[in-house]
Amino acid sequence: MGVRARLIEVGVDMVTREGMQSLTLREIARRAGVSHGAPRHYFPTHVALLSAIARQGFADLTARVTETAGESQADPRARLLALGGVYLDFARANPGMFELMFRHDLLESDHLGLREVSLPLFDILTDLVTRARTRPDPAPPVVAGALWANLHGIAQLWGWGSLRLATGADDAGPLLRAALDAHLGPENR
């Protein structure tokens, strides 16, 4: 395996195991078995390396989401519930990576390809939303955007205890269901 791939792999491993603050350029190089100047041959700057690591995280999340969203022909509401669950599970099981992925100050937003990686996800969401909700009040992209923000907010706030503290719940499930019910309108059965 080439040095470049090893750097990324070591970084992914470090961020999942020890959190974001362990991702110094020199320590990554150290654990990859190269000198502290070597990464510069593949990544012009520290931010570029972090971006590559974060992109791996995005790829992982995207894979899980698309896999879950396309799963069987269950009704869109159930798929959305699964999708939200995947999102929240990812954030809970992998807080370091989740944090890195949304630290836009540490990521080169252009080269990361945010458009390439987040728009497909958003399209899936929009599609499911259009087919799942029962009332047509706001335009689909707005609903999808609001729902995405809700998902992300739950993941973020839950991640550092605020919601657990405020709502008294010990699981993010009720919040997810509440968000879905809210944005999709009342159940129709």
The least distance separating DNA from the CB of residue 10, rounded to whole angstroms, comes to 13
With CB under 8 A as the contact rule, which of the stretches 10-18, 23-31, 35-43, 160-168 interacts with a copy of itself?
A: 160-168
Binding of DNA by 106 (CB under 7 A): no
Q: By C-beta, is 23 or 61 nearer to DNA?
A: 23
Contacts (CB under 7 A) with DNA, residues 8-27: 23-27
Instruction: Give the one residue of 5, 37, 138, 171 binding a copy of itself; rule: CB under 8 A.
Output: 138
Q: By C-beta, is 63 or 182 nearer to a copy of itself?
A: 182
Q: By C-beta, is 16 or 167 nearer to DNA?
A: 16
Q: What distance lies between CA 31 and its chain's CA centroid? A: 26
Q: How many CA atoms lie less than 13 Å away from 134 in the CB half-sphere?
A: 10
b/e sequence 133-159, b meaning 16+ C-beta within 10 Å: beeeeeebeebbbebbebbeebbebbb
Binding of a copy of itself by 2 (CB under 8 A): no
For 118, phi then psi, to 5°, come to -100, -25
CA–CA separation, 11 vs 149, rounded Å?
28
Binding of DNA by 111 (CB under 7 A): no
Binding of DNA by 37 (CB under 7 A): yes
Q: Which of 58, 72, 53 is nearest to 13 (CA)?
A: 53
Q: By C-beta, is 25 or 144 nearer to DNA?
A: 25
**131 contact choice in DNA, a copy of itself, none (CB below 5 to 8 Å, kind-dependent):** none
Binding of a copy of itself by 109 (CB under 8 A): yes
Q: Answer for the pair 43, 55: CB distance below 8 angstroms, yes or no.
A: no
Q: First vs last Cα of the chain: how many Å apart?
A: 54
**113 contact choice in a copy of itself, DNA, none (CB below 5 to 8 Å, kind-dependent):** none
